[in-house]
Structure 1
Amino acid sequence: MPDTIQAPPQTPPKEEKPASKSESLRTPLQLKKPVTPAYTIKKKLKQLNLAHKLKSALLTHQTGQWFTAIVLIPWALCAIYFTLIASDRYVSEASFLIERSDSGGGSIEGLSLFGVTPQASNDQKILETFIQSPDMLEHLDQKLSLKQHYIESGDWISRLSPSASQEDFLDFYRSHINVRYNDTNGMLDMEVQGFEPEYTKKVTDLILLKSESFVNDISHNLANEQLTFVRSEVERAEQRLKDFTRRLLNFQNETGLLSVEEQGAALSGIMNELQAELIRSQTELQTLTSYLNENSAQVIALKQRISALQSQITTEKDKLVDSDATSLNELAAQQQELQLDLELATQAYTSALVALETTRTEASRKLKQLVVVSSPYQAQDAKYPRVAYSLINILLILLMIFALARMIRATIHEHRD
């Protein structure tokens, strides 16, 4: 009988204890070892291998190399410069205008505030040009050693080169000063940049002082030129008046006549009387010859009187209209011409005196002065460089250059294909 295999004795199954409520709610992940956030980020980066992909994209692929060379490296260099190397530039501001003493009158409606007229606008623009002129720069350099400040202060990029020419110095100065004309109120707004706040304020104060001197000099010079011209005209008119007066006196002394017209009138009266006497004598002679002999004493005497009257009339007539010598008519014409010249010279002299007084009054009314509305101050915080603004603009420019380069490269490849 074959051996039979006996089954091992079965043990009753072990009764499992019912799981507690907390154990039944556990998930498989909660049974594992807890992880930290840093470990999770590191694990995800390792899984994604972002560093390797970024390196491969920027240094292996041609597009990434271009982006790195055109955008990332230049922008990183600019960021290092603006954040670590660039020197602070402080700003001192001032607002001023040119005002005339008669600015309240004659101004156009809508532009009368602070005496703002078209002429005032021209004055402000002239002053703006002067502030940015080589003359102002030379004055600042002599008084404050501005060129030395620009060379010794600031970093190696923003400073002025020691070998800079005068033209380069002027361009550098103009890039660090900003003068704007405000059309609304007619003022000039000036902004001066410097590497030291106290020095910047000194430069601004000196610019205002020199500008005030420039305005005063120009204003007074114009007024003096006008007065000088009018005074010269007065002197010329006075000299002409003296010359014509002297000529009339010399004429009177030479002719011995105070007034030729009066003398002519007197001679005319005498001739009229002589003519009347001659007519009476001739009438009387005719009466006498009617009843007396020609050889009578009365007739002879009367004839002699008539002859004397005729001779006197001829003499007096020659004084008036003698063709051989200077007649009284010619003397009267000469004296009348001299008197007319004298009257014109007198009127010209009188007009010149009136013009002199008017010009003196107008010149005093039109004198100009520099009015400082907002005085310069010493800055406490640097206004430039504006790091965020500059870096954002640089990044945008670099991205535009990169996009342009990509476009050119794509165009070239398309033409090749």
Structure 2
Amino acid sequence: MADGSKGKEQKRAAQGVEGASNPERLQTDEKSDGAVSRPNATSKQQGGQNPHTAKQTWQKPAQNAQKPQQAGANKPRPQGQHSGQAKQGQWAKKQQAASQVVTPQKVEQPKQKEQAKSYPYAEAAGLKRRHFGLIVSFFLLVFLPLAVTVYYLWGIAEDQYSSVTGFTVRQEESAGAQELLGGLAQIASTSSSRDGDILYEFILSQSMVRSVEERVGLREHYSMYWETDPVFSLWPDASIEDLEWFWQRIVKISYNSSSGLIELQVLAFDPETAHAIASVIVDESQLMINALNNQAREDAMRYARRDLDEAVERLKQAREAINAFRTRTRIVDPDTDIEGRMGVLNNLQQQLAEALIEYDLVRQTAKVTDPRLVQAQRRIEVIQQRIKLEREAFASASIETGAGEEDYPDLIAEYEGLVVDREFSEETYRAALGAVDVARAKAERQSRYLATYIQPTMAETSEYPRRAVIVALVALFLTLSWGVMALVYYAIRDRS
């Protein structure tokens, strides 16, 4: 018993040294001492085991380290106290090494147990009654209509064939005659930028539908599958307004307003009918362009003839005014009369010059009382008086006419005005004649024409209806509708 008490004191001393560096380990060893104080048969059998086996288990390291000491206490003490103290020192070092190895694992054990207790297991997920309602609604509102659509498109809908054609409106450009006439002939042409807009509206109009119906038979063709395929067919007793509505479905137009290119696609139940309808559209469009040309030519010719008639009437009035003036004044040509009067004045000026020269010659050789000098002086005075009278006749003289006396200057001014009117009327008449010639030349050729850059095609395989695209769109629409209705339903239910 004395040896057992000494072993316990040495163990506590070793634990005190270790506890100074690791307090938690010291508390754990003190708790384990109570459990080791009562040896049993199992501990006696394990007295000869290697103390390093404490590393294999971490639950009770102190108990495993004390088992060799308890087994030694029950056995007879060997002779010599020195050998017993050496063995106890070795057991203390091994116990300290074992405690240092297992200390980190033992500290974490309470934390793991606390974490396991703080998070309880979640219950298994399962379908509720409201989930079955969603599934049923999805089946009725999405899956069932989509299945019906797929069945109709692939099992009932008839194949459709397309014919494609493309054309544009071209205008002839000729500016030679127009430049010579200063642009007066531009009334015969209109801008081609609006021709494409007119043709686009004409193709979609009721006139085009009526023309195609008369030449191809739209009702007969598109109503032959009415009983089996009512979605893509036309009812047999459709009116012209119904045909115009259905025309938007079978004819698709692509129009580029900047370039003026028009491309259209025609759908029919057989390729021959689609090709025939596209050909009729091209022919009717050509007739429409020709009608526009004829209308433009008629307008140009009408305007040119109207301008020419006005010019002729104005020229006629100007010439009649001059004839009336001549009849009234009895002056055929006032210019000629003026030239005659100017000739008389010039002759008097010449005679005056000769009389002055003669007077100077006589005065040099004769006396003042010489009759020749007096006669020469008299002659000079008479000539000067005549020149004065002639000059006054141009400014204030009056002449005898059929209507009485009239001032000669007023007559000259009136005549000059009549001459100006006649010259202007003659120039206008010449310009009007040129415009008529240009309009007639443009009328003889086609200024606008339909240029077909894609002839109507003949399909070999069916491309319509677009079954995959239609199914995808229907599925998307049904899914979105179902989702919106489900959200609205649950939002209302949660608020109520």
Tell me which interval the TM-score lies in, with the shorter structure as reference length: 0.5 to 0.7
Which amino acid in structure 1 is aligned with residue 448 of structure 2?
A: K
- Distance apart, 1:267 and its partner CA: 3.9
Q: 2-side partners of 1:408 and 1:85: how far apart? A: 36
Aligned equivalent of 1:376, options 456, 466, 469 = 456
- Distance apart, 1:328 and its partner CA: 2.3
Quick one: structure 1 residues 103 and 205, their matched pair in 2 at CA, closer, same or farther if it must change by over 3 Å? farther
Count of aligned positions:
332
CA contact (8 A) 2:271 2:458 kept: yes
Q: Does residue 129 of the first structure (1) align with residue 201 of the second (2)?
A: yes
- Distance apart, 1:178 and its partner CA: 0.8
Aligned twin of 1:396: 476
Aligned equivalent of 1:187, options 234, 258, 261 = 261
1:347-366 to 2 correspondence within 5 Å? 347-359=427-439
Which amino acid in structure 2 is aligned with residue 201 of structure 1?
A: H
Q: 1-side partners of 2:168 and 2:231: how far apart? A: 35
Quick one: structure 1 residues 337 and 204, their matched pair in 2 at CA, closer, same or farther if it must change by over 3 Å? same
CA contact (8 A) 1:197 1:378 kept: yes
CA contact (8 A) 2:193 2:260 kept: yes
Aligned twin of 1:387: 467
Aligned twin of 1:92: 163
Quick one: structure 1 residues 142 and 366, their matched pair in 2 at CA, closer, same or farther if it must change by over 3 Å? closer
- Distance apart, 1:322 and its partner CA: 3.4
Which amino acid in structure 2 is aligned with residue 251 of structure 1?
A: F
Which amino acid in structure 2 is aligned with residue 406 of structure 1?
A: A
Quick one: structure 1 residues 86 and 59, their matched pair in 2 at CA, closer, same or farther if it must change by over 3 Å? farther
Note the alpha carbon deviations across 1:59-96, whole angstroms, 9 max, x for none: 99211221122102211221221122212222111122
- Distance apart, 1:128 and its partner CA: 1.8
Aligned twin of 2:492: 412
Q: 2-side partners of 1:264 and 1:327: how far apart? A: 14
Q: 1-side partners of 2:129 and 2:159: how far apart? A: 34
Which amino acid in structure 2 is aligned with residue 397 of structure 1?
A: F
CA contact (8 A) 2:160 2:267 kept: yes
Quick one: structure 1 residues 363 and 266, their matched pair in 2 at CA, closer, same or farther if it must change by over 3 Å? same
Q: 2-side partners of 1:326 and 1:412: how far apart? A: 109
Aligned equivalent of 1:321, options 381, 397, 407 = 397
Q: Does residue 79 of the first structure (1) align with residue 150 of the second (2)?
A: yes
Note the alpha carbon deviations across 1:201-234, whole angstroms, 9 max, x for none: 1111111111111112212321331232123212
CA contact (8 A) 2:219 2:238 kept: no
1:99-178 to 2 correspondence within 5 Å? 99-102=170-173, 122-154=194-226, 155-162=229-236, 164-178=238-252
Larger RCO of the pair (alpha carbons < 8 Å, separation 6+): 1
Q: What secondary structure does 2:233 align onto?
A: coil
Quick one: structure 1 residues 340 and 381, their matched pair in 2 at CA, closer, same or farther if it must change by over 3 Å? same
CA contact (8 A) 1:223 1:367 kept: no
Normalised TM-score (structure 2)? 0.57
- Distance apart, 1:240 and its partner CA: 1.5
CA contact (8 A) 2:168 2:450 kept: yes
Aligned twin of 1:211: 285
Quick one: structure 1 residues 365 and 58, their matched pair in 2 at CA, closer, same or farther if it must change by over 3 Å? farther
Which amino acid in structure 2 is aligned with residue 238 of structure 1?
A: V
Quick one: structure 1 residues 250 and 184, their matched pair in 2 at CA, closer, same or farther if it must change by over 3 Å? closer
Quick one: structure 1 residues 183 and 234, their matched pair in 2 at CA, closer, same or farther if it must change by over 3 Å? closer
CA contact (8 A) 1:264 1:320 kept: no
Quick one: structure 1 residues 201 and 276, their matched pair in 2 at CA, closer, same or farther if it must change by over 3 Å? closer
- Distance apart, 1:379 and its partner CA: 2.2
Q: What secondary structure does 2:324 align onto?
A: helix
Which amino acid in structure 1 is aligned with residue 156 of structure 2?
A: I
Quick one: structure 1 residues 261 and 206, their matched pair in 2 at CA, closer, same or farther if it must change by over 3 Å? same
CA contact (8 A) 2:196 2:257 kept: no
Q: 2-side partners of 1:223 and 1:231: how far apart? A: 12
Determine which structure has more spread, i.e. the larger CA radius of gyration: 2
Quick one: structure 1 residues 325 and 169, their matched pair in 2 at CA, closer, same or farther if it must change by over 3 Å? same
- Distance apart, 1:338 and its partner CA: 1.2
CA contact (8 A) 1:271 1:317 kept: no
CA contact (8 A) 2:210 2:240 kept: no
- Distance apart, 1:130 and its partner CA: 1.2
Quick one: structure 1 residues 139 and 379, their matched pair in 2 at CA, closer, same or farther if it must change by over 3 Å? same
Quick one: structure 1 residues 370 and 104, their matched pair in 2 at CA, closer, same or farther if it must change by over 3 Å? farther
1:206-285 to 2 correspondence within 5 Å? 206-267=280-341, 270=344
Q: What secondary structure does 1:152 align onto?
A: coil
Which amino acid in structure 2 is aligned with residue 125 of structure 1?
A: D
Q: 2-side partners of 1:260 and 1:330: how far apart? A: 12
- Distance apart, 1:238 and its partner CA: 2.1
Q: What secondary structure does 1:192 align onto?
A: strand
Aligned equivalent of 2:273, options 186, 199, 213 = 199
Quick one: structure 1 residues 197 and 350, their matched pair in 2 at CA, closer, same or farther if it must change by over 3 Å? same
- Distance apart, 1:170 and its partner CA: 1.2
- Distance apart, 1:243 and its partner CA: 2.3
Which amino acid in structure 1 is aligned with residue 449 of structure 2?
A: Q
5+ residue gaps in structure 2? 1-126, 177-190, 360-367, 370-374
